[in-house]
Amino acid sequence: MKIVLIGEAADHAGDLRRGLHGPYEIVALPAEAAGSAGHDALIGTDDVVVSLRWSRPDGVIPTFRLLHVPGAGLDAIDMAALDPQTTIANVFEHEIPIAEFVLARLLEWQIRAAAMQAAFTPSAWPRHYRHRMPHGELHGTTLGIVGYGRIGQAIAVRAAAFGMRVRAVDDRVTAAGTAPDGIAELAPAALLPDVVAGCDAVVLACPLTPSTTRLVDASLLDRMPAHAVLVNISRAEIADEAALYTALRTGRIGGAILDVWYRYPTSPREDVAPAQYPFWELPNAWCTPHSSAWTHQLPRRRYAVVAENVNRLVSGEPLRNVVRAAHQQGL
């Protein structure tokens, strides 16, 4: 059995090896191997492929044992381009840095410590001291979380520690109540407009699906308080691009913290704007390059899970985070 690392997965061969129990052969393939059959001769039926992306536009579908996505998102995986005998698994481990990022940005939204620091000079000190401007607090404010999975729950734990009231909306619940962890008030998706109407900040932490695409539209933004801030660390398309830009430009909502985008470069030389509208030119839009989860520690945790699943596969144990099991008549 080989472990085939495609594209950027090959950069983490060392992280993977640390967790493997056997001397498996590791093969690195270029990024284009995820989208064409040109390298399929190097992938055997008993192999494990590790890749963030997978498609086969040419219709040639190889058979292999496991596709392990070294991330949570599956929107770059074409399920139809995978043999029914191929199991698909993913990893998470990003809820910790994303939750820290969200709370850090919300704290800065209230405190504006960076602006205070930038304005601090010996000559300005007496004036700034005598005319100190008050700043806000997170304590006592209400945070809405759309999607109460791993990320949403990690955000809720940290928000509650700051004394925030947490109200979560999830399409998996049918009636309002208290979340099993006791931290958040939990409501079904149908109550989303009522929930956001009472929130000082709203975090989008749900997956992108047909039902969540443009979930945040003009009518939902109109339900938010005028001072409220929208935080998107999930997928840009959950918020309607034109409606969000208009709401920010006109001051209909207080602001937005945006770490995910509508357009991404697909090659090293591609120069593409992140959105059709210039959010980054608005003073109430805080824009970052999809970096909320990107910590030094994240790859080590993720590839430890991949290695554990390879070990489990070889020993016949159940795999973690199975997205799609192999067909029962498969390998």
Structural domains in the chain, sorted by start: 2-93+296-324 (3.40.50.720), 95-287 (3.40.50.720)
d(CA 295, CA 308): 21
- Per the structure block, which two tokens stand in for 256? 């937005």
Which tens digit of pLDDT belongs to each residue from 279-299?
999 999 999 999 999 999 999
What gap in Å lies between CA 311 and CA 308, rounded to an integer? Answer: 5
- Does the pLDDT of residue 90 top 90, yes or no? yes
Spatial separation of the C-alpha atoms in residues 265 and 272, rounded to whole Å: 6
Confidence of residue 329 (pLDDT cuts 50, 70, 90): very low
How far is it, in rounded angstroms, from Cα 145 to Cα 109? Answer: 17
Mean pLDDT, rounded, of the chain:
95
Helix (H/G/I), strand (E/B), else coil: 288: coil
Is the pLDDT assigned to residue 267 strictly greater than 90?
no
Please, are residues 68 and 309 in contact by the beta-carbon 8 Å criterion?
Answer: yes
pLDDT per position as a tens digit, 5-20: 999 999 999 999 999 9
Which amino acid belongs to residue 151? I
Cα–Cα distances in angstroms (integers) from residue 43 to residues 2, 70, 280, in the given order: 8, 18, 43
pLDDT given at position 269: 84
Q: Does 331 score more than 60 pLDDT?
A: no
Which residues 6+ apart lie within 8 Å of 98 measured at CB? 151, 154, 155, 233, 292, 293
pTM exceeding 0.85: yes
CB 210 within 8 A of CB 237: no
